[in-house]
Amino acid sequence: MGIAVNLVTYLGGTMHLSSSASANVVTDFMGTSFLLCLLGGFLADSFLGRFKTIVIFAFIQTLGTAALSLSTKLPKFRPPPCHSAENCKQANGLQMGILYLALYLIAIGTGGLKSSVSGFGTDQFDEKNEEENTQMAYFFNRFFFFISLGTLMAVTVLVYIQDEVGRSWAYGICSVSMFTAILVLLYGTKRYRYKKSQGSPIVQISQVVVGAIKKRRMDLPYDSGFLYENTPEGSRIHHTNQFRSLDKAAIVAEGDIDKNSSNTPNPWKLCTLTRVEEVKMMIRLLPVWATTILFWTTYAQMITFSVEQAATMHRTVAGFQIPAGSLTVFFVAAILLTCAFYDCLIIPLWKKWKGTPGFTDLQRIACGLGLSTLGMAAAAIFEVKRLSVAKRHTVSSAEPLPISVFILVPQFFFVGSGEALIYTGQLDFFITRSPKGMKTMSTGLFLTTLSLGFFMSSFLVSVVKKVTGNNGGNGWLADNINNGRLDLFYGLLTVLCGINFGAFLMCAAWCKKVKGQVSAKIEMENC
């Protein structure tokens, strides 16, 4: 976060990229970081295990931050300073290539690290132990709370060092911090609980799909008891009637089982019913997955265009000028306050009233989506105010507008509070509702919502520039945001968020109904 939150000002002020190009570089970098979580999850589940994956990719991330520190230190890796608007030279291919190399080393490290660290944390709790299972409810909230503390340091201390001391020093601090964190992690090696890798979930899912396609013309038996199952009793998953076409992968056909051999059947021909149900569990995650992507598109605006807005406004308090990137401190403060309020007040009260530790995962996600919609509406309203001031006051690009930067606080607060709820809700949803052997992959699936949200932001910016004008003149997203209509772009996002919120409520109702149906079926079978 110390890199992403202030990168847009470096790209515009030092590398001399346009406003929209700078925003897209940041969102593409963030999007790739989270997309690579799928690769990290695959390696952790299939080969390395979560602990080794964390250590290896944390080292890669450390190398990336060290490379970024060097690229911002050496003068030959950036263009000469601008002396006038006409004599402003953009960074060349080599300079941008070195920057991209450092950024995408960090992205690779982030992908492996983020996909495994939350799952490794939940490995330390025994779900069969009621006391430890209750503690895990607190874990998700506190896990995110401490991540946010790191972000708070990033948007205050690191951003100040970047702007006032030097970016190479700030990125060097990131490298030293990461290396120290790896040493602390390794110190606890003998204390952790480890779970063995159970093979690639992607291969397991593919086996079920291939098996179902091969037997698509066969009729399902009237009783699911005739479907193939050799999973130990304690690990079996009860049969459900959803996605019944996949059940065909568990039909025992002639030649599937060799009676003269003790070997298990070829999993590409015959799958156990439990394996089929595991794939169904992953499919049930997809509607919620799809409807949470747009939240991260609104989040992307907080670290790109909102920072650019702040850079144009009056930011001096008691003689101290607040760095534009540091305004996201209100974003992080909202996250920390929401986490603390939820942990200290909501969870205990809800447990006394409802008997459950806090809101359900879907309720938290719904609250997060609702708050993000309010955040975008507030952003559109206050941008109208900022633009009205910009039109009345003709000032040089270096002089701030006579309007306080603190009018941007509500949009940071709404989206920050939304993130606190939606991140913990998503993490809980994707980990607890996925099969045991696919938890790292499901964490990677959750993190791809962040990735696709950032990529969607880049896509929307490109489309809006093309439709409304991309010559830096009168388009919504002009090179100088004082000449654009960022309020209309925020308004568009508000409408999209409202539609998406309605779609999520329908998906959540479907998920709740499915869960109720499964529970009722199990109760009937037990009876």
6-51 residue pLDDT tens? 788 888 878 888 777 888 888 888 888 888 888 887 888 777 888 8
When pLDDT is cut at 50, 70 and 90, the band that residue 185 belongs to is: very high
Q: How much of the chain, in percent, has pLDDT values that exceed 70?
A: 92
Query: Are the C-beta atoms of 331 and 416 separated by less than 8 Å?
Result: yes
Span 246-273, average pLDDT: 78
When pLDDT is cut at 50, 70 and 90, the band that residue 526 belongs to is: very low
Q: Cα separation of 512 and 298, whole Å?
A: 26
CATH number for the segment(s) 6-196+277-526: 1.20.1250.20
State residue 268's pLDDT score.
Answer: 84
Task: Report how far apart, in Å, the C-alpha atoms of 268 and of each of 240, 247, 271, 463 are.
Answer: 22, 14, 7, 43
When pLDDT is cut at 50, 70 and 90, the band that residue 519 belongs to is: very low
Q: Cα separation of 284 and 70, whole Å?
A: 46
Q: How much of the chain, in percent, has pLDDT values that exceed 90?
A: 20
Span 323-352, average pLDDT: 82
Token pair of 8, please?
């847009």
Query: Are the C-beta atoms of 154 and 161 separated by less than 8 Å?
Result: no
pLDDT at 226 over 70: yes
Predicted confidence (pLDDT) per residue in 75-118, tens digit? 888 888 876 656 678 888 888 889 999 999 999 999 888 888 88
Token pair of 355, please?
């008997």
Q: Cα separation of 50 and 43, whole Å?
A: 9
The DSSP annotation for 238-305 comes to ---STTGGGGGGG---TTSS-TT--SPPPTTT---HHHHHHHHHHHHTHHHHHHTHHHHHHHHHHTTH
Q: Cα separation of 137 and 141, whole Å?
A: 7
> DSSP secondary-structure letter at 313?
E
- The phi, psi pair for 188, rounded to 5°, reads -95, 15
Task: Report how far apart, in Å, the C-alpha atoms of 17 and of each of 22, 26, 482 are.
Answer: 6, 12, 16
Is 36 strand, coil or helix? coil
The DSSP annotation for 93-130 comes to HHHHHHHHHHHHHHHHHHHHHHHHHHHHHHHTS-TTSH
Which residue is it, tokens 């968020």? 497
pLDDT at 122 over 70: yes
Scanning 327-472, the segments in alpha helix (DSSP H) are: 329-341, 347-354, 361-392, 409-432, 439-468
Give the dihedral sign, CA 10/14/18/21: negative
Q: Cα separation of 114 and 112, whole Å?
A: 6
Amino acid at position 337, single letter: L
pLDDT at 523 over 60: no
Token pair of 237, please?
């998953």
Mean pLDDT of all residues in the chain? 83
Phi-psi region of 254 (alpha: psi -120 to 50; beta: other; left: phi over 0): beta
Task: Report how far apart, in Å, the C-alpha atoms of 307 and of each of 297, 460, 465 are.
Answer: 15, 18, 19
Query: Are the C-beta atoms of 278 and 437 separated by less than 8 Å?
Result: yes
Predicted confidence (pLDDT) per residue in 271-310, tens digit? 888 889 989 988 889 999 999 999 999 988 887 888 888 8
State residue 44's pLDDT score.
Answer: 82
Q: Cα separation of 69 and 84, whole Å?
A: 28
Pick from 52-61, 350-359, 379-388: least confident: 350-359
Indicate the domain borders of the chain: 6-196+277-526, 201-276
On the CB side of 490, CA atoms within 13 Å amount to 27
Is 403 strand, coil or helix? strand
End-to-end CA distance of the chain: 53
Give the dihedral sign, CA 236/237/238/239: negative
